[in-house]
Amino acid sequence: MSFHHRSSKYGRYTGGPDPLAPPVDLAEALDAVAEDVMAGYSPRHALQEYLRRGGRHMEGLDDLARRVQQRRSDLLSRHRLDGTLNEVKKLLDTAVLEERKQLARDAMMDNTERAFREMQLENLPRSTAAAVNELASYDWQSSTAREAYDRIKDLLGREVLDQRFAGMKQALEGATEEDRAAVAEMLQDLNGLLDKHRRGEDTDADFQKFMAKHGQFFPENPESVEELIDSLAQRAAAAQRLLQSMSPEQRDELMSLSAQAFGSPELMAQLGRLDANLQALRPGEDWTGSERFEGQEGLGLGDGTGVLQDIAELDELSEQLSQSYNGSRLDDLDVDALARQLGQNAAVTARTLAEIERAMQDGGYLRRGADGDLRLSPQAMRRLGRSLLRDTAKQLSGRQGRRETRLAGAAGEQTGSSRQWEFGDAEPWDVTRTITNAIRRTTADGGDPGSGLRLSAGDIEVAETEARTQAAVVLLVDVSFSMAAEGRWVPMKRTALALHHLVSSRFRGDRLQLITFGRYAQSRDIGELTALASRREQGTNLHHGLLLANRFFRRHPSMQHVLLVVTDGEPTAHLLPDGDSWFDYPPAPETIRLTIAELDRLGRAGTQTTFFRLGNDPGLERFVQRMARRVDGRVVAPDAGDLGAAVVGEYLRAHFRDHPYDDADWAS
């Protein structure tokens, strides 16, 4: 006998990027995570939700988990566990039929003996196992019948071995007595090695000696005794679950038939000893479970054990895909097992999701705060702000009459662009562009730039500037619970991010303060505001917010003061002298009086004020109109989805009050 198992080992592709892997779209992942963070989820939870949902063109963990469960269900609904019993029954029926034919043909046989034999065959037990056992000592007259009966013993031997050693049923087909002796010797040596390992007396040399002698029985090529035990225990535990998944009648039949395996009781004794060793060494395996098979495709003992192993692997994958245990990461996912069960495309998806998780956590988009939890990093905030600002620019440029021409050429801040010099310009020359223009002109006229250049007025370009007034800007946003309840929470945060990115990237001379007001008001950085969770807290304390805005403006007396107020309700709270908040609904006269008084102070200081009214509350509409008239301000009533464009547009309008602007420039 020889075992010609071709063994292949596969690992991660190392010749460059995985050719099957789609590009990792971190922009989509970041947008999705940030959207959930702004809705109130923690960054960790938001990332997990994205990985569960997947992307626009990519499956998520939930999709993979659903496919895992579907494959598990298919295995159970397609198979049943009587394959070996049916094979034995067919061989038994063949043996009995051939024997009866021989008895009918044998004219030399004594009639009494023939009648006795026919009666013996006629009265065999209905149980296949009992019939096989009863015929163990039968003196077969037909060589064909004897061969069929011997094949029963051979089949049973190969099946019980295939339960413990995958592929043994095929490998031992047509095996000789010498081959069977080799198997028996391997089992004896294996149990000896496991006995020593249980006592802690084995060495690596013992394992190497065993593999050198019996390695052909283990095509998976374990590299240590622990790997050997792992693979054997998983298979043996699956074999136990297979038996427990059978009906009691099927189980009794097989246990009875096992005594006929190879006609060797010693084989079953060695296998029993092996099972005992493996259960002692790996008690954590599932040795007691069972499954309900309901299909029509019969499975033999070896194939059935393989299916139970597949089911165990699918259950493990389901647990890994759930990511529900402490410290879970997608790096824990057994990608090779996923490829075996669902195919290479599923493995590619899993690798892509794991790469997104690593890139988000290790690539700078999420970082751990002082409390140990994940937060959006400044890098992520900048990228998200840039994306939101582009969306805002598209909304602005689509508005009728909003696009204007930016004033260039006046003294002020350089834009990075240049233009041709005109009489009266006092801006510095753009030397590089000027010399380049002179070289091009000289070459076009047939001259040699190497012999010298002569400048003309048409060659000269000057650095472009734009007139800018530095501004101190306060974005005052309502964070009362009605903002979240009415679907305005995320648009409010998106607005703050877009404005923050515009100021920090294109108008660096300006100063922006973000102030939230609910029961109390509080100055916040953009990270705090983005991660702010909604709370069921009563109170719209605009009075406190205006106090903080006034304090900020006093720190920047030389700048233009711009106040942008986003709210969906009338003031219902004000700050008391002792620092507590007074709440009353409908709004108390004292709340209105104090709020108006603080707004008047801002108006007297020349603050440009715009109110952004969200919703259609008539009381709020009347209130903000009166407030705006007191300070010569404006009221804008955008839909929640247009809030970002409205706020940014008002900021630009106030900033360039005396100079028109081009929104294509600031959004680029």
Instruction: Report which residue type is found at 224.
Output: S
3-state SS, residue 92? helix
CB 650 within 8 A of CB 656: no
Mean pLDDT along residues 346-374: 78
Whether the per-residue pLDDT at 464 is higher than 50: the answer is yes
Mean pLDDT along residues 64-68: 94
CB 497 within 8 A of CB 388: yes
At residue 629, the pLDDT reads 94
Digit-coded pLDDT (tens) for 564-607: 999 999 999 999 999 999 999 989 999 999 999 999 999 999 99
Residues 6+ apart with CB under 8 A from 583: 519, 538, 539, 572, 573
Residues 6+ apart with CB under 8 A from 80: 293, 294, 295, 296, 297, 298, 299
Mean pLDDT of the chain: 85
| CA distance linking residue 333 with residue 43, whole number of Å | 21
Lowest mean pLDDT among 90-94, 177-181, 317-321, 634-638: 177-181
Instruction: For residue 426, name the pLDDT band (cuts at 50, 70, 90).
Output: low
Mean pLDDT along residues 445-456: 78
Task: Return the top range by mean pLDDT from 45-59, 168-182, 317-331, 621-635.
Answer: 621-635
Digit-coded pLDDT (tens) for 265-285: 788 889 899 999 999 999 999
375 or 203, greater pLDDT = 203
Instruction: For residue 261, name the pLDDT band (cuts at 50, 70, 90).
Output: confident
At residue 306, the pLDDT reads 92
Whether the per-residue pLDDT at 43 is higher than 80: the answer is no
Instruction: For residue 409, name the pLDDT band (cuts at 50, 70, 90).
Output: very low
Residue 436 dihedral angles phi and psi, to the nearest 5°? -60, -40
At residue 321, the pLDDT reads 92
At residue 3, the pLDDT reads 46
Question: Other C-beta atoms within 10 Å of 545: how many?
Answer: 30
Torsion of CA 594, 595, 596, 599, to 10 degrees: 120
Whether the per-residue pLDDT at 257 is higher than 90: the answer is no
% pLDDT > 70, the chain? 88
Mean pLDDT along residues 546-571: 95
At residue 371, the pLDDT reads 60
* Model confidence, pTM: 0.65
Peptide bond connecting 586 to the previous residue in cis, omega within 30 degrees of 0: yes
Digit-coded pLDDT (tens) for 576-585: 999 999 999 9
Domains assigned to the chain: 26-78+313-376 (no CATH), 82-292 (no CATH), 413-466 (no CATH), 471-666 (3.40.50.410)
CB 659 within 8 A of CB 407: yes
Judging by DSSP bridges, how do beta strands 366-368 and 374-376 pair with one another? antiparallel
Tell how many helices (H) and how many strands (E) occur in the chain: 26, 14
At residue 369, the pLDDT reads 63
| CA distance linking residue 352 with residue 21, whole number of Å | 7
List, in sequence order, every beta strand (DSSP E) within 161-313: 297-298
Residues 6+ apart with CB under 8 A from 143: none
At residue 424, the pLDDT reads 54
Cα Rg, the chain, nearest whole Å: 41
Mean pLDDT along residues 540-549: 96
Whether the per-residue pLDDT at 435 is higher than 90: the answer is no
Residue 462 dihedral angles phi and psi, to the nearest 5°? -115, 155
Instruction: Determine if residue 455 is left, alpha or beta; phi over 0 gives left, psi from -120 to 50 gives alpha, anything else beta.
Output: beta
% pLDDT > 90, the chain? 48
Residues 6+ apart with CB under 8 A from 294: 76, 77, 80
Instruction: For residue 297, name the pLDDT band (cuts at 50, 70, 90).
Output: very high
Instruction: For residue 11, name the pLDDT band (cuts at 50, 70, 90).
Output: low
At residue 5, the pLDDT reads 42
At residue 6, the pLDDT reads 42
At residue 20, the pLDDT reads 53
| CA distance linking residue 327 with residue 315, whole number of Å | 19
Nearest to 546 by CA among 507, 582, 596: 596
CB 34 within 8 A of CB 366: no
Instruction: Report which residue type is found at 571.
Output: P
**DSSP sequence for 283-317:** TTS-SS-------SEE--HHHHHHHHHHHHHHHHH
Instruction: For residue 657, name the pLDDT band (cuts at 50, 70, 90).
Output: low
Whether the per-residue pLDDT at 304 is higher than 50: the answer is yes
